[in-house]
A and B are shown apart, each in its own frame.
Chain A
């Protein structure tokens, strides 16, 4: 369906996907009513800096906002912030809200995001146990992540490690506990895990892998430490839990929309209801470069699906799809990831990890499927372009650092 200018576009959620949908719809000529329902009170803002520059105190809240308040007024976008969507009535095309009112729609975009996976252990609710997902979480962390604080981070994923880097730079004593045998085990190769473990250890972070938390300890409601299954006790003034996220699909599910580990959408970000789209972390989408579906937790995905929904709603041609990409900043190391490395059956390292700049290329059935590029932008960009254009290079070619990435790009074959 394409919207007409007497229609109402309703958006649930106030993150990157929501902001992109709105910007796209207006840019592509939709002049009808746009209303955004956001549970948080802040204007739509960027999340990536939360675990980086914002936690470090190098960025004010205002700079996180995608657009200033004036922009929404100028663009005639109604913001209902601090309000929760409770239920979707698809027959009446109406969403009931936590303030007792209802919001009608002609088209609905669910950009409900995700939430931290809760730690199912005794003590998880103690004062001093934190999560890192939204602005308020970080506003709660900033005053307590200071010199000398004993901080235990549970989970060595990107969030945990980025927070560890910042906390260490702020002078905290940081221990990272990871249940798996290596850091970043869910998302990358052992080579990368070793590199990041060494990086953090060289900055004085203590990394404990194969370490399972049994209980968060506390007195008088305040956290005092963490007890591991093997009996080890770690002292902690604060504990940060970063063990993954869960898609916010319940609103869609309760309305009878198809969901399976996220809200199912097609290549246009459309759900099983013609009038309802979904974008961002909350979706399970076709991954066209990998001939499968999956859920992506990334800025790229939020932007792309926001654009897809806006394009479909304004009757525009579907924008060209990018290959999934990600980045992570820790200390002075920039990691850029292009593609999805899951299911790789071969990988090679280009450059020397000891030098601090290198890349790991991943292959499946002899085709290049992804790269983890550490301080190595050319490796990132070339891989991204190759995957999009359906081209590949051989492992031996990519391993040869005497040939530049620019020269290699010219040698790629279909």
Chain B
């Protein structure tokens, strides 16, 4: 289990209790967190689940694999701490994770 905080682009925070094994994207979508479209449902095919990972957790979430990285290279407003959150699996180590959603996924 891990508590994950989703922050929208205006700064509104929402904390959600997430089960291990789910992805950070799934937790958001199933709980109706706005700002994450995830059109492809987690196949790393669409780049509409872009988030900024809190710098304290960058090591814990690991680095993106090649396919995710090349999708991210073309996302809008991409930063050093950008990730596609369908590729981040929840684990105990991510307890307290904060991710911020961009203003738009398209």
Residues of B within 8 A of A382 (CB): 74
Interface of B is mostly: loop
User: Is A67 at the interface (CB under 8 A from chain B)?
Assistant: yes
* Chain B residue at minimum C-beta to C-beta distance from A382: B74
* Chain B residue at minimum C-beta to C-beta distance from A68: B30
Contact assessment for B46 and A325 in the assembled complex, using a CB-CB cutoff below 8 Å: yes
Give Cα A320 to B105, complex, Å: 13
Segment at the A interface, from B10-18, B33-41, B55-63, B95-103: B33-41
Contact assessment for A381 and B74 in the assembled complex, using a CB-CB cutoff below 8 Å: yes
Contact assessment for B34 and A381 in the assembled complex, using a CB-CB cutoff below 8 Å: no
Taken residue by residue from 187 to 210, chain A's Cβ proximity to chain B (1 for < 8 Å, 0 otherwise) reads as 000000000000000000000000
A301 to chain B, nearest CB (A): 11
Residues of A within 8 A of B40 (CB): 48, 299, 327
B88 to chain A, nearest CB (A): 15
User: Is A399 at the interface (CB under 8 A from chain B)?
Assistant: no
User: Is A119 at the interface (CB under 8 A from chain B)?
Assistant: no
Contact assessment for A303 and B73 in the assembled complex, using a CB-CB cutoff below 8 Å: no
Interface residues of B in 56-81 (CB under 8 A from A): 67, 70-71, 73-74
Taken residue by residue from 38 to 49, chain B's Cβ proximity to chain A (1 for < 8 Å, 0 otherwise) reads as 011101111100
Residues of A within 8 A of B41 (CB): 46, 48-49, 299
* Chain A residue at minimum C-beta to C-beta distance from B45: A327
Contact assessment for B47 and A381 in the assembled complex, using a CB-CB cutoff below 8 Å: yes
Q: How many residues of B contact A (CB 8 A)?
A: 21
Contact assessment for A299 and B39 in the assembled complex, using a CB-CB cutoff below 8 Å: yes
User: Is A96 at the interface (CB under 8 A from chain B)?
Assistant: no
User: Is A287 at the interface (CB under 8 A from chain B)?
Assistant: no
* Chain A residue at minimum C-beta to C-beta distance from B74: A381
Contact assessment for B34 and A378 in the assembled complex, using a CB-CB cutoff below 8 Å: no
Residues of A within 8 A of B29 (CB): 66-67
Taken residue by residue from 224 to 252, chain A's Cβ proximity to chain B (1 for < 8 Å, 0 otherwise) reads as 00000000000000000000000000000
User: Is A336 at the interface (CB under 8 A from chain B)?
Assistant: yes
User: Is A63 at the interface (CB under 8 A from chain B)?
Assistant: yes
A161 to chain B, nearest CB (A): 16
Residues of B within 8 A of A375 (CB): 67
Contact assessment for B26 and A329 in the assembled complex, using a CB-CB cutoff below 8 Å: no
User: Is A98 at the interface (CB under 8 A from chain B)?
Assistant: no
Give Cα A299 to B40, complex, Å: 7
User: Is A130 at the interface (CB under 8 A from chain B)?
Assistant: no
Contact assessment for A334 and B73 in the assembled complex, using a CB-CB cutoff below 8 Å: no
User: Is B106 at the interface (CB under 8 A from chain A)?
Assistant: yes
Give Cα A299 to B43, complex, Å: 12
Residues of B within 8 A of A334 (CB): 43-45, 67
* Chain B residue at minimum C-beta to C-beta distance from A26: B32
User: Is A41 at the interface (CB under 8 A from chain B)?
Assistant: no
User: Is A406 at the interface (CB under 8 A from chain B)?
Assistant: yes
Contact assessment for A377 and B32 in the assembled complex, using a CB-CB cutoff below 8 Å: no
Give Cα A46 to B31, complex, Å: 16
Give Cα A10 to B45, complex, Å: 31
Give Cα A377 to B47, complex, Å: 10
Residues of B within 8 A of A71 (CB): 30-32
User: Is A300 at the interface (CB under 8 A from chain B)?
Assistant: yes
Residues of A within 8 A of B43 (CB): 48, 327, 329, 334
A6 to chain B, nearest CB (A): 24
User: Is A27 at the interface (CB under 8 A from chain B)?
Assistant: yes
Which residues of B come within 8 Å of A, CB atoms?
Answer: 22, 26, 29-32, 34, 39-41, 43-47, 67, 70-71, 73-74, 106
27 contacts between A and B (CB under 8 A): A27-B34, A48-B40, A48-B41, A66-B29, A67-B32, A68-B30, A71-B31, A75-B32, A299-B39, A299-B40, A303-B39, A322-B106, A325-B46, A327-B43, A327-B45, A334-B44, A334-B45, A334-B67, A377-B70, A377-B71, A377-B73, A378-B70, A381-B47, A381-B71, A385-B74, A406-B73, A406-B74
The 6 A-B residue pairs with the shortest CB-CB distance, nearest first, are: A327-B45, A381-B74, A377-B70, A46-B41, A377-B71, A378-B70
Other A-B contacts than A67-B29, A299-B39, A406-B73, 7 sampled, CB-CB below 8 A, are A63-B26, A67-B32, A303-B39, A325-B46, A334-B44, A377-B70, A377-B71
